[in-house]
Amino acid sequence: MFRPLTRLQLTLDILAATLFALFALAATLIPWRGSSIGSGVVNMHIALLIALVLLLAFSGALALRRLSPGLALAICWVAAIVQMSAGLPPLPANLAIFGVLYTTAAYGTRRLFWIGFASSLAGAAAIAVYLIIPGAVQIIGSGDVGQLRTYVFAAVMTFIASALALLLAWTIGALVRSGLRARENRQAQQAAESEAAAEAERTRIARDMHDVVAHSLAVVIAQADGARYAAAADPEAASRALGTISATARAALADVRMLLTQLRHTQAEGPQPTLADLEQLYAQVRAAGVDLAVDVDPAPRGDIPAATQLAVYRILQEALTNALRHGAHGGQDAGAPARTAEGRVDVRLAWHDDRVEMIVANALRRPVPEVAGASRGHGLIGMRERAQLVGGTLDAGADPSGRFIVSATLPRADAA
């Protein structure tokens, strides 16, 4: 029933109502043309007293118009009925009705919005009846039909003029209501867009964090296993493995710190990997004991969009991480990578003018059903999301020969 208002708004409403009451009091007490308030129902003194009470009622309604538009409208209706019952003429305090009708349209509920519209028409009809009908009744008694037509015309014109005046205040409030609703909708839309952007950014950072941590840990685990097997036979191989572990862990720590910085400062994009970083990625995989064969044909030509470069790098990174985890090369010595076709990981890149095709294939160390069940993890989901972000497609699965193949086709954004 009551709307929340700030202290300043409530103070301004009370101040405006007080100033209006002083104006209406002066206009009521100062007689115009030497006459005072008259009434055909009560004497002059009682009429003046009722007029002062009505002044307080209308001023109170004006003070409550924004705090409780429904209550203010009800007070105006009760005061208007009392005024007509006492036979009082129009009073300066009646001007408060315009302010109340404005707020019912601007700030009221949907039901009160239409109640204010109906009140404008009903009030106009009441004004026409109250001002014109008493005189028309006297004319009917006298039998002067010609003058009665004049009163009927006057009643219609009074209704139209009153309705236009009251509906004008209501219409202005309706326009303000539309403006407020439009602003709220814009703010809600902006908030939704900001939340969606923030969620997309969190998803991107989580995807990058997964790619960085999963790949680095896969390299570290492979090197640690190789060093453990080679420690007794070749201590230098173990030392090289520990060096690779240290370098990989430091690089991963730097990447994680960069991603955490982006979480703290949403405006910080940070550097993203490009095609130039692929050789370092290949070197890390080879250092983990993997026989990695890379075939690029045709080679990339022209400027490759940053989004495509990032997608290619992250997809290759995740595919090679899966090869490290599940490939048949697992368990090789750190210093002696496998050289058999069975344990090899094949990477093929074809940079066409309008697209880039990628294939990563490796033999499986575990049965196909187990890997197929693992394919529902975050790794393959992340690769598919990477491909979809740039408008491409990605398929992953085991072929009949038991090799696990990841194939992706990404469009080049710079293609005409």
Q: Please give the structure tokens belonging to residue 221.
A: 């685990």
In this prediction, residue 259 carries a pLDDT of 59
Q: Which residue has the higher pLDDT, 219 or 152?
A: 152
Length of the chain: 416
Do 218 and 324 contact (CB within 8 A), yes or no? yes
Asked if the model's pLDDT at residue 173 lies above 70, the reply is yes
Q: How many CA within 13 A on the CB side of residue 112? A: 23
Give Cα 190 to chain centroid, integer Å. 5
Range list of H helices, 296-413: 306-326, 368-374, 378-389
Confidence of residue 167 (pLDDT cuts 50, 70, 90): very high
Strand order in the sheet with 403-411: 291-296, 344-351, 355-363, 403-411, 393-398
In this prediction, residue 171 carries a pLDDT of 95
Instruction: Please provide the average confidence, as pLDDT, over all residues in the chain.
Output: 79
Beta strands 291-296; 344-351: pairing state: parallel
Q: Which among 29, 31, 28, 83 is positioned nearest to 54, based on CA atoms?
A: 83
Listing DSSP states for 239-261 in one string gives HHHHHHHHHHHHHHHHHHHHHHH
Confidence of residue 252 (pLDDT cuts 50, 70, 90): low
Q: Please give the structure tokens belonging to residue 338.
A: 């496998």
Asked if the model's pLDDT at residue 117 lies above 80, the reply is yes
Confidence of residue 40 (pLDDT cuts 50, 70, 90): low
Helix 235-264 and helix 145-230, axial crossing angle in degrees, nearest 10: 170
Quote the Cα angle for 373-377-381, to 5°: 115
- The SS3 call for residue 351 is strand
In this prediction, residue 65 carries a pLDDT of 92
Q: How many CB atoms lie within 10 A of CB 277?
A: 14
Taking the C-alpha atoms of residue 386 and residue 9, their distance in angstroms, rounded to an integer, is: 52
Task: Please name the residues in contact with 398: beta carbons below 8 A apart, sequence gap of 6 or more.
Answer: 364, 368, 371, 372, 404, 405
Taking the C-alpha atoms of residue 148 and residue 215, their distance in angstroms, rounded to an integer, is: 98
Its sign, for the CA torsion 116, 121, 127, 133, is: negative
Do 269 and 205 contact (CB within 8 A), yes or no? no
Its sign, for the CA torsion 281, 287, 291, 295, is: positive
Overall average pLDDT of the 242-270 stretch: 61
In this prediction, residue 399 carries a pLDDT of 83
Taking the C-alpha atoms of residue 395 and residue 392, their distance in angstroms, rounded to an integer, is: 11
In this prediction, residue 100 carries a pLDDT of 94
Q: What is the pLDDT of residues 59-69, one digit of tens each?
A: 999 999 999 99
In this prediction, residue 132 carries a pLDDT of 78
User: Rounded to a whole number, what is the largest CA-CA distance in the chain?
Assistant: 133
Confidence of residue 139 (pLDDT cuts 50, 70, 90): low
Confidence of residue 212 (pLDDT cuts 50, 70, 90): low
Confidence of residue 36 (pLDDT cuts 50, 70, 90): low
Q: How many CA within 13 A on the CB side of residue 37? A: 25
Asked if the model's pLDDT at residue 112 lies above 90, the reply is yes
Asked if the model's pLDDT at residue 57 lies above 90, the reply is yes
In this prediction, residue 347 carries a pLDDT of 93
Q: How many CB atoms lie within 10 A of CB 169?
A: 20
Q: What is the pLDDT of residues 284-314, one digit of tens each?
A: 888 777 888 999 988 888 778 888 888 898 8
Taking the C-alpha atoms of residue 222 and residue 332, their distance in angstroms, rounded to an integer, is: 9
Taking the C-alpha atoms of residue 384 and residue 292, their distance in angstroms, rounded to an integer, is: 23
Model confidence pTM above 0.75: no
Q: Which among 347, 342, 316, 346 is positioned nearest to 328, based on CA atoms?
A: 342
